[in-house]
Amino acid sequence: MAMTQASSDKVKVGMLGEKDATDKVYTQIGGVRFYTGTGAPTHASVKGSIAIDVSTGKMHICTVATGTWVVVGAQTT
């Protein structure tokens, strides 16, 4: 299941919130993008970016810019 974003995931603060090519809202710090949403991410992003699945609390990191995301550590729901 691809990550979906609710309106609460799309809240922006000043210039912190931007949209990527797949219309996902993120906050960028340095070269890393931070996303929140429901479901595991599958979209392309900058390598090293982080996504939090708010339905499970799992954190994913983008290991390949074309959209390869892996769960960080041994997280359980």
DSSP H or E stretch at residue 74:
none
CA dist., res. 56 & res. 19, Å (int): 23
Closest listed residue to residue 27, CA positions, set 17, 15, 38:
17
Enumerate the domain spans of the chain. Answer: 7-71
Residues facing residue 37 across a β-bridge: 53
- Write the pLDDT tens digit of every residue in 41-76: 999 998 999 999 999 999 999 999 888 999 998 876
pTM: 0.76
Are 20 and 33 within 8 A, CB to CB? yes
Q: How many CB atoms lie within 10 A of CB 55?
A: 14
